[in-house]
Every structure is written in structure tokens, then in C-alpha cells.
Structure 1
Amino acid sequence: MKSYIAVLLSSLIISAPAQAISVKVFTDKAEWTKALKNIIAGEDFADGTFIKGLSIKASSTDPSDFSHSYTVTGGKLVDRLTEKHSTSINYTSKLLGIGGDFDLSLNEPGMGIKLVLSGDTFSHFLVPKEINKYATGGFFGLVSDTAFTSLKLMAGTQGTAFVNGEQYSLDNLSLATATAPIPEPETYALMGMGLIGLLAARRRKTQ
């Protein structure tokens, strides 16, 4: 009986579904909002403070380089992304959606913006569509079927060189929180262990 339970448990753990991430991109805020059934929080960058739980961090791949920083001016976040400079939008609660109004026309057409999601269950997911280098303030948002907590903005691939990088402004940032935890593979295994325990107890009782 013990060996039978062990084999069954092992097969259950092995067959626990691997997490595959699916992301849908929107350029219409009404459609983005319609695709979500979650609490939506907003940051309009009207003052020097962010909404609770939101943090934005500028970073560089060169540890000795502290030159990269964004500014909040005129009710917008203004930033420049280069080959080594990126900016991360982080939130303390799990998210299923994020979006905002992006203007990439502050300078000559650059590289566009590449987006990377990360969360508690994965460290890197490249969003399949970049923000267009010709964007002039329209909405760009995404909805994920897997909860995430961070969105990294990086210089995209729409130019031939990182001469100017990509300068942009962001306004009306919107965040859609996840309403329920998403089961992990380990959760399925624990559920299986409980089920096997109940079956074993029932078998002993009937003998």
C-alpha cells in the first residue's frame, strides 16, 4: 500500500502543470478595462508622491553608473532608456494588468520600448509587442493570465543603434490587481497528498 501511494504521489508531482504565461496587449483603454475584472488603481503623477504600494526605480547594468534617473514634471513621468539604462515599475500587490499613456515623441524617433514582466513565480517574461517608437501619448496596456509585481521598461529593438536611446513620458498609469491567488504546481501536489491520505484512511477503515 505504501509503495502504491508513493508511486501515485510521484506521478502527481511530475504531472503538475508547468506555468505558461499568456499576455494580451491593448491600445484602447476601454477595451483594456473591459478585459479586467479587478480593482484598478491609478497614478496621475500630479504631485511628488506615488499611490500606496507603487515604486519606480531607475537602474543601470553598470554598478558604478548612477547617471540614470527619471523626473516627474508637468504631471508626467519623464525618462530616457538606453542600452544599459532601464526603469522598473513595481507594486506590492500582485497585478494582472498595467497600462498608461506613453509619448515617445519627445525627441527624434528612437528604439521604442521593450517590456519585461516579473513576479513571485517567474523572473523574466518578455512581452511580445513593444511600445511603438512613434507613439504620441496614446494608451498602451497589457493583461496577463499570471500574476506579476514588476514591469521593466527597456530600450526596444526598433532602431539600428543606441545613439539616443528612447526618451518618453508616461501619464495616467493604471494598475489592475489580482483578485485571487493563482495555484502553483506545489499546491496541486499538496492537494494530491491530502486526497491520497483520505483514500488510505478509508481503505484501512473498510479492511
Structure 2
Amino acid sequence: MKRTKAVLARAALAATVGFVTGAANAVPIVFDFTGTVTESFFTDFGSIQNYDPSMPGRSVTGRITVETDQLQLQAHVYPGQRWTTLSETGGAITSDLVIGGVSYDAGAFARATGYVDGLEYPSDPFLRSDRVGVADASTQLYSQPGQYLSRQFGLYWSDPNNSEDLIDLANGFDLVSLLPVLATLAPFGYYQEQTRQCFNADACVTLGTNFTSFSIDSLAISTGNVPEPSTLALFGVGLLGSAVARRRKRQ
């Protein structure tokens, strides 16, 4: 029964998701969403968290745009996990974010550090879930000892009901090919701003972090021409029907 509810919940979200694919190498990929703040807190140098009770429940609207032909590949293999990162070059990832009517610019600083990444656990005794993330991020360039700011705004997807089958990094990491799967999952969203004390370019300590997380209420992913509303509705209904059919077949 629990599994049935999970399947139906994912299908219900898919019915509110707009998704259209273009060519396999289509650029850019655009993630548009609305959401609701779940929590917000500040963590100080001593790791003490101070929660802001005024933030939960505030509305969130956002967009992340990824130019997939301007990303640099970095692949890592560790015991029990694979991790692939596509790092941005030349402002390949941009974003807009509004929380409670206030705009936040994650890409405001000179050094762009945005990324798309995949984390896979092909043989993990702890059954941790595979994860896919996309983020716009930037940091102030170091020039002399002092305090520097960095910002990051991102979305990430995982599937706790199918923890080890979200991605297969042994066969490469192609964000476009993953979009049909991501469109059926509810991502999580976050925004954070850190203040660091830097003594030189390679020696910095974090003085404090403001972190806000939000649930996603609706999500639209596009890689080409935006489809008509009727097409989106049919796509959502189709996902709902296929999810129920898969559940009946298992039974």
C-alpha cells in the first residue's frame, strides 16, 4: 500500500510538470518552478543554527538555465560511488530566484562556480539514493586577506523508492537523456549565502551560512519550443496512466 501511494504521488506531480525535448544536443535546458519555503536558518562559526520562523510558507518562483554546450566534464570514482560534475564556463548557467517577493542573485559575483552533477551509489551498503543536481553559483574573487561572499541556488532530484537506479554513470552522464526521468520526480530546492574569512587564496574559513530550503509545487522543463497547454495536459495524463498500469502489472 505504501508503494502504491508513492507511485501515485509521483504520477500526480508529473501531471503538473511540463516537459518537452528537442534534439539530443538541444541547448539551453530551462527549469521553471514554483515552490514554498520549508525552513530557513543561519549557521554561525560555532555550528550553532538559528532558525528564522518568518520564512516557512513564503512563496518561491525560480528559473535555472543551463547551456549544455558550455560545460566541462569532471568524473570521479570512489569506493562504492561514482560522481560526475559538469562545471560551467563563461556564464553557462544563469538563474532567477524570488522568495517572498525578494530577488536573490546567485550569479552576482565574478567567479562562476555553477554546475550540473550526478552522484551514483552502484554498491552502497547504506542504500543511499542516487542524486542529480543543477545549480547556479558564484563567489567573489580573492584579491587580499578579508571577508568574501559566495552564493548558490539549486535543485536536486533523488528517488528514495528506487535508490540505486536513477542514473548509471558507468555509461556517461547526459543531462538531456535524463530529463524524462527527472520530470516524474519532485526535486528539492535551496538557496545559500556564505561569508568566508580568507587569509590567502587557498586558506579560508566559513564564518556563517544562510540557508533556505523549499519544496517544489510545480515544475516545467524545456529544451526547445514550448508546447501548447493541451500538449502538456496530455503528457501529464499519459504519465499518470502509465504509472498506474505499471503498478497493476507488478501486482
Q: By percentage of residues, which structure has more strand?
A: 2
TM-score by length of 1: 0.30
TM-score (norm 2): 0.26
Rg larger in structure:
1
